[in-house]
Chain A
Amino acid sequence: MVPLNAYLAVGAIMFSIGMFGVLNKKSGIIVLLSIELMLNAVNINLIAFSRFGFYGNITGQIFTIFTITVAAAETAVGLAILIAIFRNKGTISITDLNIMKR
């Protein structure tokens, strides 16, 4: 049996990679994807704990379903925003979006 540690480690690694992507990638689309990656890492954890946790039960999976739902919604809205931005500014490079400064 693969121990819980292994799954969690995979999750942690994916999470870190996703985080790096969020912080460093310039394309808005890839940033969105990196967020998905982080969410996936979390899903792995949820399901792993649902099986091997202190109080393992099905709720972990239910939670994952909700996460996926939210992720899907987020992707849809995020993409829509990116398209809107692209239409207005001609770019979706995150580094060009600095209107917060003004």
Chain B
Amino acid sequence: MTGEYIAFFIFALMAISGAVLMLNLDRVIHMVLSIGLSFIGVAGLFVLLKAEFLAFVQILIYAGAITIMMALGTMMTSQHKEDKKLKRKGHTIFAILGATIIGLILLNGIRTTSWPNEAANLGEDNVIEIGMAMFTKHVIPFELASLLLLVALMGAIVLAKKESDK
């Protein structure tokens, strides 16, 4: 089982390092690219968790669509470099402290809880399982989600549209 560990280690490293890079890079476009790395790492983790379908979705939507969109957004708002002039020392320290402590609390919670060790059997082909569940049990949320997407689409268009007629 060492192979799985190695794979996990690599993907986890990708995910976390992508995230860390995003925080520390200078140019906005680099940040966007680094988070793409993080998304791919997460997708790898999904594969390890036997959620292949979601891994594809992750790559398609996050690593593909969202990253590209962000990149485009960066260009449209001509954000090349992050503004470093403004120093907010206290704010940053507190943010670091807050985030760290939350992380530590979560980690501590994870460490001290005794989790079940068995893997659930989710079927050989979990696309079928997902499809079955999605269109029987969760059909209403599914429809609502499509509605949400439509609304978001329209909203985004309205918001981003140039107000030429005024």
Contacts and interface: CB of A to CB of B under 8 A. Distances in A.
Interface residues of A, number: 74
A47 to B, nearest CB: 5
Given A19-B102, A61-B51, A84 B160 contact: yes
Interface string A43-79: 1100110111111111101101110111111111101
Contacts, number: 242
Contacts of A51: 49-51, 119-120, 122
Contacts of A13: 16, 19, 103, 107
A80 B62 contact: no
Contacts of A26: 82-83, 86
Nearest to B96: A20
Nearest to A95: B86
Contacts of B83: 26-27, 93, 95
Contacts of B8: 2, 6
Contacts of B141: 66
B106 A6 contact: no
25 contacts: A4-B117, A7-B45, A12-B106, A20-B95, A20-B99, A24-B95, A25-B23, A26-B82, A29-B74, A33-B22, A40-B15, A43-B42, A48-B49, A52-B115, A55-B120, A68-B57, A69-B149, A71-B61, A72-B61, A75-B69, A76-B155, A79-B70, A79-B73, A80-B159, A93-B83
Closest CB pairs A-B (n = 4)? A56-B120, A16-B103, A73-B152, A80-B159
Interface of A: 1-10, 12-21, 23-30, 32-34, 36-37, 40, 43-44, 47-48, 50-59, 61-62, 64-66, 68-77, 79-84, 86-87, 92-93, 95
